[in-house]
């Protein structure tokens, strides 16, 4: 039996009371809720997902989706809190550079646990706890201080069981694997994410999102699609696995094309790289609808060429900016032009190649990445 000692713990295991559980993610909650149910088999459990710290919003949606799946399987009611990201930002202002477990985290717990106490008051629930208590990356002592203080302020009880003890953490991770829960690889906020990626010397690719909302490899939207699909598979009784694969990813950060000092609409195909980023070149020849520049292996194609090869009917580059091009089609076009699966030549789509001299800037990054593929049996 887990240690239930906490300053404010008073609930009897045979109580029929209701407990409001603040939920941070499925990996923590799936285990925590089952342990809590074992300790309080007669109590009613209500989950409360209130995590405006999670950034970007798509990551928030993904974590929520997985918590919904978990609560459904455990037959536990779930309430979604408000995603008031701006007020969370204001709440931790001045502590952006703190390390994990530092002052920013204390404020972050304050914000989330306090809102849970408010929710409990609103619902007439007397007991509050949080699944953060089971997260090995969080300080249980820090959480107890926050919870006990709020319990006094709101005249409610804070339950702070330590389910990590006696192999709890190992059991939790085994369960997460068996249940194929979404295992996020950063705590949640943009500050921790940026710091973690800087330390790993990796791109915080979660923070990139093309304006046309194209689903790029390894992006959060791709994961959401996979996790939605797995719910359908489970409902229809099909077997599946998530398997990881390492690959070279690409993101364009900024790009422009200038002719006579004026910016023209342009769209660099994925994996377009210019070593020096900015170069002045000229169009040298046109062979079968591909316009070759004098250096950098750079090529232009017109929108009509893209439409014909990929069966699209874009009327202008501006339309392409706001309509996602299917990624695999974009790669197919590159392969068609370059006759290679590993080409990084800049290939740029424009409305018309009616210019000779031009200046081009492409700030792009190629980096090692890992993605999860959904394999259906």
Residues engaged in binding ligand SF4 (CB under 6 A): 53, 100, 104-105, 108, 187-189, 191-192
Closest CB to ligand SF4 among 27 and 105? 105
Compute the least distance from the CB of residue 191 to ligand SF4, in Å.
6
Closest CB to ligand SF4 among 139 and 307? 139
Closest CB to ligand SF4 among 80 and 100? 100
Closest CB to ligand SF4 among 27 and 306? 27
Residue 153, both tokens: 């302020």
Compute the least distance from the CB of residue 240 to ligand SF4, in Å.
30
Closest CB to ligand SF4 among 27 and 283? 27
Residue 151, both tokens: 């319990």
- Return the SS3 of 78: strand
Compute the least distance from the CB of residue 159 to ligand SF4, in Å.
20
Compute the least distance from the CB of residue 29 to ligand SF4, in Å.
15
- Return the SS3 of 288: coil
Q: E-strand spans in the chain?
A: 18-23, 44-49, 77-80, 127-130, 157-158, 240-259, 262-264, 266-268, 278-287, 290-293, 299-302, 347-350, 357-376
Compute the least distance from the CB of residue 173 to ligand SF4, in Å.
19
Kindly give, in sequence order, each residue whose CB lies less than 8 Å from that of residue 169, ignoring residues fewer than 6 positions away.
Answer: 134, 136
Compute the least distance from the CB of residue 59 to ligand SF4, in Å.
11
Closest CB to ligand SF4 among 192 and 364? 192
Closest CB to ligand SF4 among 198 and 315? 198
Closest CB to ligand SF4 among 103 and 352? 103
Phi, psi of 263 (to 5 degrees): -80, 130
Phi, psi of 284 (to 5 degrees): -105, -45
Length of the chain, in residues: 377
Compute the least distance from the CB of residue 138 to ligand SF4, in Å.
7
Residue with tokens 């018309």: 352
Cβ–Cβ < 8 Å for 131, 24: yes
Compute the least distance from the CB of residue 183 to ligand SF4, in Å.
15
As to burial, measured by CB atoms within 10 angstroms (0-12 exposed, 13-18 middle, 19+ buried), residue 267 is buried
As to burial, measured by CB atoms within 10 angstroms (0-12 exposed, 13-18 middle, 19+ buried), residue 23 is buried
Compute the least distance from the CB of residue 223 to ligand SF4, in Å.
19
* CA dist list (Å): 66 to 25, 169, 327: 8, 19, 26
Closest CB to ligand SF4 among 191 and 227? 191
Closest CB to ligand SF4 among 192 and 257? 192
Compute the least distance from the CB of residue 169 to ligand SF4, in Å.
18
Give dist(CA 200, CA 212) in Å, integer: 29
As to burial, measured by CB atoms within 10 angstroms (0-12 exposed, 13-18 middle, 19+ buried), residue 118 is middle
- Return the SS3 of 206: helix
218 Rama class: left (phi>0) / alpha (psi -120 to 50) / beta: left
């Amino acid at each position: 039996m887990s240690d239930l000692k906490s300053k404010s713990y008073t609930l009897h295991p045979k109580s029929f009371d209701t407990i409001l559980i603040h939920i941070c993610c499925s990996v923590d909650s799936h285990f925590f809720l089952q342990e809590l149910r074992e300790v309080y088999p007669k109590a009613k459990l209500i989950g409360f997902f209130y995590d405006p710290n999670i950034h970007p919003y798509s990551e928030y949606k993904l974590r929520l989706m997985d918590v919904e799946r978990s609560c459904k399987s455990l037959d536990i009611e779930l309430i979604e809190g408000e995603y008031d990201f701006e007020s969370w930002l204001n709440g931790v202002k001045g502590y952006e550079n703190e390390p994990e477990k530092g002052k920013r985290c204390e404020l972050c717990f304050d914000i989330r646990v306090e809102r849970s106490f408010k929710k409990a008051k609103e619902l007439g629930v007397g007991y509050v706890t949080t699944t953060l208590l089971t997260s090995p990356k969080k300080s249980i002592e820090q959480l107890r201080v926050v919870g006990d203080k709020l319990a006094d302020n709101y005249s409610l009880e804070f339950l702070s069981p330590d389910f990590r003890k006696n192999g709890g953490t190992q059991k939790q991770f085994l369960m997460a694997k068996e249940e194929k829960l979404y295992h996020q690889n950063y705590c949640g906020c943009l500050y921790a994410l940026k710091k973690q990626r800087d330390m790993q010397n990796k791109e915080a690719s979660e923070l990139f999102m093309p304006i046309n909302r194209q689903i790029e490899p390894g992006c959060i939207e791709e994961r959401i699609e996979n996790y939605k699909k797995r719910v359908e598979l489970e409902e229809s009784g099909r077997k599946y696995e998530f398997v990881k694969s390492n690959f070279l990813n690409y993101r364009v950060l900024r790009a422009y094309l200038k002719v006579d000092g004026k910016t023209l609409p342009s769209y660099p195909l994925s994996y377009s790289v210019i070593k020096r980023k900015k170069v002045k070149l000229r169009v040298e020849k046109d062979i079968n609808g591909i316009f070759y520049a004098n250096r950098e292996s750079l090529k232009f194609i017109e929108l009509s060429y893209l439409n014909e090869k990929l069966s699209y009917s874009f009327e202008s580059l501006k339309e392409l900016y706001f309509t996602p091009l299917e990624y695999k089609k974009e790669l197919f076009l590159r392969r068609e032009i370059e006759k290679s699966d590993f080409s990084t030549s800049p290939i740029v789509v424009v409305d018309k190649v009616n210019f000779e001299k031009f200046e081009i800037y492409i700030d792009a990054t190629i980096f090692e990445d890992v993605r999860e593929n959904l394999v259906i049996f």
